[in-house]
Amino acid sequence: MSLPIEIPERIFVKAFETLIKTPFDNAIKAMVDGPGRHIVIEPGCKFELSPHSLKPMGEGYCEFTFAICHECPDDRTHWVTDRLISVSIICEKPRKGCNE
């Protein structure tokens, strides 16, 4: 079984940039799809992003937490969480009122 490894700062920054550019609907879809659905940080990188948790913060505003993980070399079906990363994303779609 593999242990968490240190993530290079460049990869962490790239993961953060990837997440803050993610539209609200895509982030929600990632959470619904579950941890088996990963987001690629960059092509060829051994680290990927896996949905971890979602915390509502207000109307149309949520904090999304993703795990930066890597595939276990001993068991290629197992992914190891190396570090968690959280971003807040606002839904930019206008909300319709009850009378509209």
Mean pLDDT of 25-49: 91
**Domain annotation covers residue 96:** no
Res. 9 pLDDT band, cuts 50 70 90: very high
Note down the domain range covering 84. Answer: 9-88
C-alpha pair distances (Å), 77 with each of 37, 45, 58, 67, 74? 13, 17, 36, 16, 9
**Domain annotation covers residue 93:** no
pTM (predicted TM-score): 0.84
Q: What percent of the chain has pLDDT over 90?
A: 67
Amino acid at the residue 14: K
The number of distinct structural domains making up the chain is 1
